[in-house]
Amino acid sequence: MLFFFAAVLGWKKPAGGRKEELFVDKRKNNTITIKMNGEAHTYQPVQDKPGGEKEIVKEDSGSMEEQAAGLEAEEEHFEWILPEQEPAEPEEFIINEAVNTAAIYPKQTQSLSKKKKGPIKPIFFTVAFAVLIGLTFGAVMLKLVLTDKPVVTSADPQLGEKAAGESSGKEKPGKTAVAAAAKLPPVTAFVVQEGVYSTKEAAAQVKTGLEAKDVPAAILEMDGKYMLLIGLAGTLEEAKEIGASMKAKGIDFYAKEIGLAERKAGKATASEKDFLAKAPEIYDVLSAAAAAAYSGKNAPSIEKEAGFLKEMDGAKFANDKIAALYNELEKAAGSLAAFEKNGASKDSLSAQQHLLNFLEQSQSF
């Protein structure tokens, strides 16, 4: 460090222990401060004389060397003091024995399980698709087998009769084998009512007394009550006219319109279904003709309805209740045909009674 400051001051060490000469340029009020070992040394350069001559400062080289030697000795005794480090204690590692291999290799087991589950979905879809194709193919084949029935030709009529007989079982001879559920459509009627009774027995007792007077009568159940009917007509006005004739016999009446709801008729053949579908219409025509005959008026023609009933041939009906309805309409048509020929009042009363029985029978389903 001493040499550095000497170089700054322009000092050079003379050879042979000669005195040193330090040339300092003359500067105005310049001061040089040197710190050595924490002590500041100030040097004031000597100003040049007016003649421009430089002043030579002579120093003893021996004193300079002593100062340098002292600095070097201090530098040689410099020691670095480092903090003492204690040796680290060795860490302890505790190895626990695994209960199962899944704890040692968790990732490996998960990957294996995923690999095992991977092919399940493709296999499932393949099996499901195969089953679907099989069911579809089976359904098509079954449909072809069921529809592929032997056709009975006219060349072998006995074979056709035999096939029909096998399916009929215990059915009566001549009955149509095929039967399905049938319904009786709603029926609207204009009636002459004698009264309403709380029990059927009470209504039946009065009915017996009216029949003894040659008055047609029938019992219908409506809303938990029992109506005793003594006549019917095609319109409400005609029903009132018939009621007026009953009033002359001392019988109270009430003319009204009633409606019988649709009813299930059970199993029926195709011909029986045709009859049930036409029955309300046939009843309307016959009731109008019966009212006209009872009142002594010209009755409308019933030839069309009578022809339809004859063509149906109710004797072949297998359903007894449907057959009973047919019989009442067929007998009413026969009575009206007889009244048209001879004009007997008993035939007009008979037509009224059979049509009232039709209404009563319609509630038997």
DSSP string computed for 192-230: EEEEEESSHHHHHHHHHHHHTTT---EEEEETTEEEEEE
Flag whether pLDDT at 204 surpasses 70.
yes
Token pair of 333 as six digits: 């048509």
**Are 188 and 333 part of one and the same domain?**
yes
Coil, strand or helix at 248: coil
Q: Which of 188, 184, 161 is nearest to 173 (CA)?
A: 161
- Tell whether 200 is covered by a domain: yes
Cα dihedral sign, 159-163-165-166:
positive
- Tell whether 175 is covered by a domain: no
- Tell whether 111 is covered by a domain: no
% of the chain surpassing 70 pLDDT: 58
pTM exceeds cut of 0.75: no
What's the confidence (pLDDT) of residue 248? 84
Q: What is the pLDDT of residues 172-200, one digit of tens each?
A: 444 444 677 888 899 999 999 999 999 99
What's the confidence (pLDDT) of residue 14? 44
Look at residues 75, 93, 119 and tell me which one is the last residue of a structural domain.
75
- Tell whether 295 is covered by a domain: yes
* 315 confidence band (pLDDT: 50, 70, 90): confident
* CB-CB contact of 296 with 244 (8 Å): no
- Tell whether 348 is covered by a domain: yes
- For the ranges 25-39, 229-243, 250-264, 341-355, the lowest mean pLDDT is seen at 25-39
Q: Which of 83, 63, 88 is nearest to 2 (CA)?
A: 63
What's the confidence (pLDDT) of residue 148? 45
What's the confidence (pLDDT) of residue 277? 93
Report the chain's mean pLDDT, rounded to a whole number. Answer: 73
What's the confidence (pLDDT) of residue 342? 87
* CB-CB contact of 324 with 362 (8 Å): no
Token pair of 64 as six digits: 């300079």
Look at residues 33, 55, 75 and tell me which one is the last residue of a structural domain.
75
- Tell whether 244 is covered by a domain: yes
Number of domains into which the chain is organized: 2
* CB-CB contact of 20 with 12 (8 Å): yes
- Tell whether 119 is covered by a domain: no
**Are 204 and 332 part of one and the same domain?**
yes
What's the confidence (pLDDT) of residue 134? 84
Q: What is the pLDDT of residues 76-86, one digit of tens each?
A: 444 555 555 55
Look at residues 75, 106, 127 and tell me which one is the last residue of a structural domain.
75
Q: What is the pLDDT of residues 252-305, one digit of tens each?
A: 889 999 999 998 888 889 999 999 999 999 999 999 999 999 888 887 888 999
CATH number at residue 215: 3.30.70.1070
**Are 344 and 198 part of one and the same domain?**
yes
How many other CB atoms are there within 10 angstroms of residue 154's CB atom?
Answer: 6
Flag whether pLDDT at 51 surpasses 70.
no
- Tell whether 233 is covered by a domain: yes
**Are 195 and 51 part of one and the same domain?**
no
What's the confidence (pLDDT) of residue 127? 81
DSSP string computed for 94-145: --PPPSSHHHH-HHHHHHHHHHHHTTHHHHHHHHHHHHHHHHHHHHHHHHHH
**Are 196 and 319 part of one and the same domain?**
yes
Backbone phi, psi, residue 309, to 5°: -65, -40
The residue segments making up the domain with residue 343 are 183-362
How many other CB atoms are there within 10 angstroms of residue 45's CB atom?
Answer: 19
* CB-CB contact of 194 with 206 (8 Å): yes
Mean pLDDT of 28-35: 58
Residue whose pair of structure tokens reads 């001051």 in the numeric block: 9
Q: What is the pLDDT of residues 94-140, one digit of tens each?
A: 555 545 555 455 554 444 444 455 566 678 778 887 888 888 878 87
What's the confidence (pLDDT) of residue 255? 92
**Are 337 and 196 part of one and the same domain?**
yes
**Are 67 and 201 part of one and the same domain?**
no
Q: What is the pLDDT of residues 1-27, one digit of tens each?
A: 444 444 444 544 444 444 444 444 444
